Each structure stands twice: as C-alpha cells, then as structure tokens.
Chains A and B, each alone.
Chain A
Amino acid sequence: MKEQILVFNHTDKQTLGAVRCIPGLRAAENGDHIWLRGIAVSEKIDIRIRQLPALHTYFLDERNRLFPAGGVTPTGTLPSLSWQPLTTFISVELPVSVLPGKFQRPYIAQLVPSGQDKPGAALLVSLATWKAYAETAPEIRLQQVRFAVSEKEEVFIIGDLLPSIPGKEYWRHNTLLVPSGYDFDPPLITDIIEKKLNPQKGNLLVFHSSDEWELIPLSCFVPATRSAIRLTQVSHETK
C-alpha cells in the first residue's frame, strides 16, 4: 500500500480547511463526494487528518486498487479525477468586516487655533501697503515672490521669502493656504479637502479664519516686479 484515500460528503468541504496547509494533499470532486489523497501510509498520520469526518477510508496499492480499512479484498479502483492541490481546491476568502455599515453623518471640517509653528508661505496685504513697499523694496526681495490682486484691493503674495510688511500670514500644505496659528480639525483632513475641492491642483485654496474659503487660479499670480506692482494699481484704479 502506498497511500491512504479519504472520501467526504461535499457538504463537509469546509472541514478540509483544517488540513489545507499540510503539504502533499490533493483533492478532487466526484459527484456529491470529495476525494482526498496524498496521505502516506508509511508515516504517522497527522491527527488533523484523522479528525476529518470521512465517509470512507481506503488504502491504495500500486495498481490503483482501493482496499477498505482492514479489508484484504479491493472494492474498486481509483476513479480518474481532476486532482488539485488542496491550497487551490480550497481558496482563501477575506473575512467580512465586523462593522460593514457606512458613516452617513457628514463631518464638518473646521479651523481651530493651533500651537504648531509653521513657516509662512503667503501674505494677504492691502494694495496700498503693497504699493508703498514696492516703491523702495530691494529688487532681490521682490524676485522671491509672486502676487495676485483682488477687486477688494487685497493682494495675495506667495513665496518662501515673504516681505516684512503688515498683513495676514498663511502657511501652505500643497495647494491649501491656512491662516498662521490655525490648523484643520483633524489636521490630516487637508489632503481630503484638497482632493475634493482642488483635484487638478490648478488653484490655490485659501481658507480664512472666518471659515470662508476661496479658489485663486495659480495663473493669476504674476512675478512681483516693481513695474508690475505699479501698473496693477493703475489698471485697478481705472476700472
């Protein structure tokens, strides 16, 4: 005898999961039954195999004849089946989530005072202040920033070396500008906000401490040359 053969009801297929990881086992479907082979008789049979709810137990000889346990007369031959490794025969399924339900209530993101010190990346100043600064500002400092002007005569200046003039400072997270001294609650929501409101990243998303926000296209920002600042004021005044 070379190996042991076990036959199970198809309904007991799940129980084979207990021996799935034992090497060498192969299984095949045969009508309402599952046949399992690959159990060497020369070795001590694993207790997990012996605990399986087998309908029939056979021993197979070299001529593929099936002998019942303890019998000396074969009762049949091994049918020709499509044998598969047990790891393939019983595939793994991910467990179902314990809490599969969705959180239906909307979460309101808000700005809250923060103690974190983050470097300023933008400055909101009045047009008059910006113009006065540009009159004598060193060229090398102007070259470090870009600016955009609103109809409300407010100037948004962006850059990593902001001018030292009175205004509201903002820190930057990718395309989000948040007032200095504030942060989102929770802080990690910034990426979600950006993905939702500015997916193409072609704008700056400016959040104000008054809970208002606005989109400023990046194309609105121009290099801060002295002439650009002076001419911007002229064109604004002639509206």
Chain B
Amino acid sequence: MHFGGIYEDETVGKIYDRRLMGRFVGYVAPYRRLIVVALLLLPFIAASKLAQPWILKMAIDSHITKGVMAGLPSLATGFLGIILAESLFSFAEVYLLQYVGQKVMYDIRVQLFSHLQRLSARFFDQTPVGSLVSRLTSDIEVVGEMFAAGIVTVVGDVLVLAGIVGIMLWMNVRLSLVTFSVLPLLIWVAFTFRNWMRVAFRQVRSRQANLSAFLAESIGGMAVVQLFNRERDEAREFRRLNSSYMEANLPVITWDAALYAVVESLSSIAVALIIWYGGGEIVKGNLSFGALVAFIQYIEKFFSPIRDMSAKYSVMQGAMASLERIFGLLDKEGKEPESKPQPPGPSAPAPKQGLQQICFKDIWFAYSDEDYVLKGFSLEMRRGEKVALVGETGGGKTTVTRLLSRLYEINRGSIAIDGVDIREMSLQSLRRRIGVVLQDPYLFSGTIEYNISLGDPEALQRVEQAAAMVGADRFIRELPKGYQEEVRERGVNFSAGERQLISFARAVAFDPEILVLDEATASVDTASERLIQQGLEGLMQGRTTLVVAHRLSTIRDADRIVVIHRGEKAEEGTHAELMSAKALYYRLYQLQFKD
C-alpha cells in the first residue's frame, strides 16, 4: 500500500518556475515606483556601508600611523553621521519593501477572493472548503515571505558587490586581482550547489505533499483505521513517509552547510592572500597599512551577502510551490454564466411597472451528465400568487428554486420573467428581484444587524422594519445589545427558530418582488414552530412566492399546489381539488403532512 506513485511531481521543470515568476512580477509591477525608491535608497545604504572601512583607512594612514591626533575627532563625527544615515536608510528600505510585499499579498488575496465570488455553485459543490481557505491564507503568506527574506534586495546586494569591486580596483588593482582570484572557484561552487539544491528541494516539495495528503486523509478516516485495527499499519506507513521526508531534507541541509562553509572559508582565504601579497607590498612600500586594513574589511562585506544566498533560495522554492497553487485556483474555469448581450429595443425589461408573470417552460436540467433531475418541467406564476411545490425528497423541488436564481444553468428550456429570458438579464438584476430563504439558514459571525442587512446600505435602512414584519423584533429587543448583539460562528448562540426568523428578516429587508422559500424539513420544538409560523405570514405578505413546502399550513394557504414527480409536473391545483382527486398528492399528503 504505497502512496509514492500518486503525487509524484519531481519532474517539474525550471522553465515552469520561470513562468510562475514572470506572472508574479506582474503583481509587483503596480508598485514599481516604490520599488524604484527602495532601489534608489540602496546606493546610499551601500555607500554608507562602503564608507566605513574607508574612514578607518584614513584614520590609520593619516592619523594613527603618523601620530597626528588633530582631525581624528572630525573623522569620528563623520563616522557617526554615516552610521546614523545607514540606520535611517536601511529602515526606510526594509519598511518600503515590506509595504510593497504586504500590498502585493493584499492584491493577490483580494483578486483571488473576488475570483471565487464569480465561480459557479457547481464549483463550490465540488471543492472542499479547507483547500480554498488554505489557498487564501497560508499559501499567500508563503509568497509574502519572499519580501521579508529580502529577495528583492538581491538587486541591492549586487549593487554593493559591484561597489566594493570598484573601490578595491580603484584602491589597488593588483591587490584586488589577488583577492578576486578566489572568485571563479566561488562562482563555480555557487552554481553547482544551486543545481544540486534545486534537485533536493523538488524532492522535499513532493514528499511533503505526500506526507500532508496522507495525514489529511488519515485524520478524516480515523474511525475506519481504528475499526479495522490498522493503527500499526497506518503508523508504519506514516513512518515511511515521514522518514522519507526527513531524509529528503538532509541533502538540503548538507548542501546549505557546505555552501555556507565554502563561502566563509573562501573569504578567510582571500584575507590570507591579502596578508601574504599585501604584506610583501607594505615591506616594499607600495601599500599603506590603512589600505590593507580597509581591504580586509571590504572582503568581509563582500562575502556576507553571498553567504545568505542559500537561505533566500529555499524561501524562493517554497514560494514557487505556493504560487503554483494560487495561480491554479485563479485559472480555475467554471465561472458563473455571463449574460447574453441584451437585444436592443422591444425585449428589454419593462421598466418599473412591477412583476407580472414568471414562466418556466419545458425545463430540462441535470447536475451531472445525463442524469436529469428535471425532465420537461413547466410552470406559470402570476403576480402575487403563492405556489407550493410538493413531492418526494430528491424529486427536483429545490432544484426548481435554484434554477430561478440561475445558480445553475438549465440544459434545455427557458425561464422568463415578464417575457424576458433570465439569461438575458444580468445576474445582479435578476437576483435582486428574488429573495431566497434556505432550508438551513446560514448566519455569519457579526451583529444581528449585519446578518439581516448583509452590509447592504439599502437593506440597512429597513432592518428594524423587516424584523418587525416577521416578528423577530421581540426576541431581538430582549437581547442585551439588541440589534448589535454578536452572532457567533454559524449562529450557535441562537435557537433554530430564532435563526430562521433572522433569515426571514433578511429576505424582507431586501424587499424582493419574488420570494423563494425552501422550508426546513427538520422538526423544531413547539416554541420555535410558533415563531416560524408567525414569521412566515409577514414574510410572504404581498409577494409572489414559490415555496418548497414541508408544512401543513403552507400548503393549505397556497393559491396553487404543484406536485413534482420524477422531474415532471404530475398534478396541479388547490389543496381541496387535489385531495378530492385522490391521486399522487393525496398519498403524499398522508405521508408528509398528516401527523
């Protein structure tokens, strides 16, 4: 039972990384001004870094070796000034880059989130919540690390290196060449190690994916593991994956340590070369003591950015893996349907005279492939009518209500409101006309006011009025903070009846012409039942209502009852008519409503 074969992706090429990086640069581009400012600061930081050994050289050559005390204080003051300047500039630098980093993360996050809002209901049916959450949180965090780890400042590091090379050459060409003699070796080592590390990193990445996939699944299926007494086998498999992950990390550690050590040693060897060669030059009088000391300091400054290259590289690798996942989601197809361009003239929606009629015509619909839930369903509703849908579970009642809001696209047939096909309306204007109350009311964390208005400014005006209409105001006013009372995640601090009433108030606050109501099947306590009963009356008042009925009073009050059987309309009429027909409805009534 091996997992190895499932998640292998160790072959992802470097061209792929380059493409990801190229796309990422597009997100940084809007902040190029800030980046330019940050880059412009770099020469100043570099200069103040480079000036420090130079002042030391001047102090030694013109004062200390010559025994001249005068002028040393002013040099010291200069040194102090440069230190302060460096601190200030590096602060501005770090701050700017972090700011850009945070802004870029913010932009990606908002873009990704907005993209999610446009994806279809089908997409959300199929995608686990957890994986979307991690894309929007931890993956973006990892990308942000690139800024914190100073990958952008690599440009600055290069600048400092160039500056040091320039100054050293200017100070003493031959001594510089002696120093640089270690560089070819350094460059070779750096490039070779980089390639080895890339290979090692890929292995780490894929083994980490295996490990977390196993872990996620194992936690999900823990009961099965325990029921079948397979703890030991699972533990063995986990140990295998865990140790293969650890082993993949060891080469990375070794290459990293080796790179670090090589750079460190080479910098000391460069110093040794300077002592050997420069010492001779001093004896010959070709070089000053101060120059030698400054040279040694420059060498140290030269090697330190090279030293943390490997750390930056590992951050980059992590960011690549995350970018891949983020872009993967951004490229996800399955957006909500766009509206067809509206034909100009006669078929444009009739303005402001209010809803007259809704017409479902020969609807065919399947959630997947050819498995039709609705087969040629038709229904006509007139203004102010109250139509109840009745039928077996899974017969397609809820589907009809979902199609009206165009959460899913119908396969065949048409739905028209006042003669305009809903596919010709914008989603926004269609859904604005329809108020939906779901079987299981979803409450957000936030205040009651927010849960009724959902932050919509117009709805906000009607919060209290709406609550009063459905009778929710009584229990809300008794709360210590009234409408400002906090609703905890999923509304756990309210009873089922209270949650229903809040969702009724929500529908009323948006003042829709059409009301779509999916009544809760779950039985509630009698107190809640009474609350809901009263709320429903206020809710439906004066609206064209389509209700998936589970409640006796609802079907009795309905103007018309439509029985859906196997995806088709089987019977239609008032309660009394259908009861006397003694057909399908008669039996359904006995099964579902009579108690």
A, B in one complex: no
Q: Which residues of A contact B (CB under 8 A)?
A: none
